[in-house]
Amino acid sequence: MAAGEPRDLGSYYFRFLPQRTFQCLSTQETTSRLRQWSMLGRVAAQAFGFDQTFQAYRKDDFVMAFFKDPNVIPNLKLLSDSSGQWITLGSEVKKIEATNVPCTQLSMSFFHRLYDEDIVRDDGHIIKCLDSFCDPFPISDELRKVLLVEDSEKYEIFSQADREEFLFCLFKHLCLGGALCQYEDVLNPYLETTKLIYKDLVSVRKNPQTKKIQITSSIFKVTAYDSAGMCYPSTKSHEQTFSYFLVDPIRRHVHVLYHCYGVGEMS
């Protein structure tokens, strides 16, 4: 904002926080897994601060202000569809969609039903099934079947509300991976990586009255459009191309988790 320029009352202003790094995506083990899942080099997390009290009912104003902010435009990363290189927003955002993503889960016991329902053996091995296809994903085990095939026998072990939870969305994204994903034979790498990312991105606090841990983040799945159509997280829509905004109203931070479907780094 230029000196002397009148401040738009009620508008949010943002600042880039490059010093806030996300260890969940950079540990040696996670890097190795993301490479195997064809997501390495195509997934990123960034942090931005903002200057006013966040009000969930104003989420659309918040997200639009984010995309128009002069501190966001040169710093928000996305992958170019043409070059495959990291770029920043090159066009003016005209419209946004910000879909609420529930985030209530505090334990990985949410996934115990995968063992109880014979999706995964007691030793952690994922049970195989006859090969099939759920465009564009090959299905060769019961895990991908329960994630993708709506008319499969075990699909209902996760309710629609379960499937909307951020923890489930994150787990599913990691399981499905990128264009040349090499699937795991055991469940644990998916669970461990989901937990690492979830803990690093989602904000919690201890309730002063009940002393219980509670989640403070508000989460939105975000899409932005310029005059030509969709421009963020990509110009091409894909189930595995996403951007989640995780808003911490107490610290006044927003964490952006981004992935663009494609062929990840192999070396």
For 40-76, how does the pLDDT look when each residue is reduced to its tens digit (9 = 90+)?
999 999 999 999 999 999 999 999 999 999 999 999 9
Read off the DSSP letter of residue 101.
Answer: E
pLDDT at 151: 93
State the pLDDT confidence band at 238, using cuts at 50, 70 and 90: very high
Average of per-residue pLDDT across 192-212: 95
CA distance 219 to 202: 9
pLDDT, tens digit, 9 for 90 and up, residues 164-178: 999 999 999 999 999
* Helix locations, the chain, DSSP H: 28-36, 59-68, 113-116, 142-148, 160-164, 166-176, 188-201
Instruction: Say which amino acid occupies 205.
Output: R
- 3-state SS of the chain: helix, strand, coil percent to 5? 25, 25, 45
Whether residue 71 contacts residue 129, with contact meaning beta carbons closer than 8 Å, is answered with: no
* Cis-peptide into 138, omega within 30 deg: no
State the pLDDT confidence band at 1, using cuts at 50, 70 and 90: very low
Q: In the chain, what are the domain boundaries?
A: 14-99+219-259, 108-201
List the structure tokens of 264.
């990840």
Average of per-residue pLDDT across 98-114: 97
pLDDT at 90: 86
pLDDT at 8: 55
Q: Provide the 10 A C-beta neighbour count for residue 88.
A: 11
Summary mean pLDDT of the chain: 94
pLDDT at 5: 41
Average of per-residue pLDDT across 98-104: 98
pLDDT at 135: 84
Whether residue 266 contacts residue 35, with contact meaning beta carbons closer than 8 Å, is answered with: yes
Indicate whether 241 pLDDT > 90: yes
